[in-house]
Structure formats: C-alpha cells, structure tokens
A = this chain, B = another copy of it.
Amino acid sequence: MTVPNSRSAAARPDVRASPPRLAAVASPLYLREDEIRRGIELLYFGYTSMVRGADAILAREGFGRAHHRALYFIARRPGMAVGDLLRLLAITKQSLGRVLTELQGKGLVEQSIGTTDRRQRLLRLTKSGESLEAALFAELETGMAAAYGEAGQSAVTGFWSVLIGLIPAADRALVEGLRQR
C-alpha cells in the first residue's frame, strides 16, 4: 500500500451546504478537502502578501526578512533575552547571531547584561531601531487593519482562533507570552 491519498475521499458532505446539527462538533469529519486546501492557500498567500509589503523598506536599509523578524520581536518585548528570541524564531544561534551582529553594527539594537542572571544579554532597540521598526510595522498595519475592517470583528476573532489551533499546543504559551500585559 502506498501513501494514503486523502484526495480520493470524494463523497464527503459540504458543510457550507449543510452545517453540522450538533454544537461543538468534536470530530471534523464533515470537512471536505477543498476547504482544507482553501485554508492552506489563503494562509500561504495571506502570509506572503503581508510580509512582502515591508521588503522595499528593508531593501533600502540593506536588510532582509530575518532582520525584520528580530526587530519585530525585540520591539514587541523590549528587554527580551537572546535565548528567548532564539526559542521564538526557532532558528540556530549561529543564524540569529549573524542577524543581531548586523543590527548592532548599524546601531539599531543594543544589549545589556541581565539583572537577575548576568549571563543573559537583554535586547532592546535604539532610537533609530525604533524608527525603522515603526516604519516596518506601519507597512504591515496598513494591510492588517484594512483586512480587519473589511472582515469585521467577529471574523477577526475566528481568524485568531483558527491560527491558534494551527500552533502546536506546546508552542502556544510562547506566542501568548507576547501579548500586552
């Protein structure tokens, strides 16, 4: 037997034509392949559309998307330690090291020694780092605010909850830890 081909399961009912009668359906048996593929595609195109907006600004400064991600999270959680950023980005320290060295070299990021643990290096943006991050954020914000506005508040809640469901449970605390306190 070869790898199972879920595409051959053709006769499942369409949930949009006949929604499930029971609230809080546990088993998603009613989901058709086309709906899964639509989610995959929209997630791909939505994500790439979002990040593409910032590329022109980044290119002007001689940076790439890796620099953007570092700037973004340092802006979001000033004083974050290197190890925390490493876990968020899920890359190797060598990869992050290069990016941080470049950002520090151009005076956008600075480090300080951890207060409770002196081995830690706490990261924050300099004034010019904040300016660049703000410009990049403004790019993303434009698209995201328009999408939120078009879709409406309840759609936004649904958008969030599906995305949270995509993140492995073990990683969710990491993401939730970014929120405003």
Query: Is A42 an interface residue, CB under 8 A from the partner?
Result: yes
Complex alpha-carbon distance, A48 and B43, angstroms: 10
* Closest chain B residue to A127, Cβ basis: B2
Given contact pairs A36-B140, A145-B28, A159-B162, A45 touches B151 in the complex (Cβ within 8 A): no
Within 8 Å by CB of A155, from B2, B50, B144, B162, lies B162
Copies in the complex: 2
Q: Give the residue of B15, B34, B131 whose beta carbon is less than 8 angstroms from that of A180.
A: B34
| Interchain CB contact (< 8 A) of A179 among B2, B5, B34 | B34
Q: Given that A44-B47, A157-B158, A163-B42 are contacting pairs, would A6 and B148 also be in contact in the complex, using a CB cutoff of 8 Å?
A: no
Q: Say yes or no: A157 contacts B155, CB within 8 Å.
A: yes
Give the 10 A-B residue pairs with the shortest CB-CB distance, closest first.
A158-B158, A147-B165, A155-B158, A28-B149, A46-B163, A5-B134, A42-B163, A159-B162, A3-B135, A47-B47
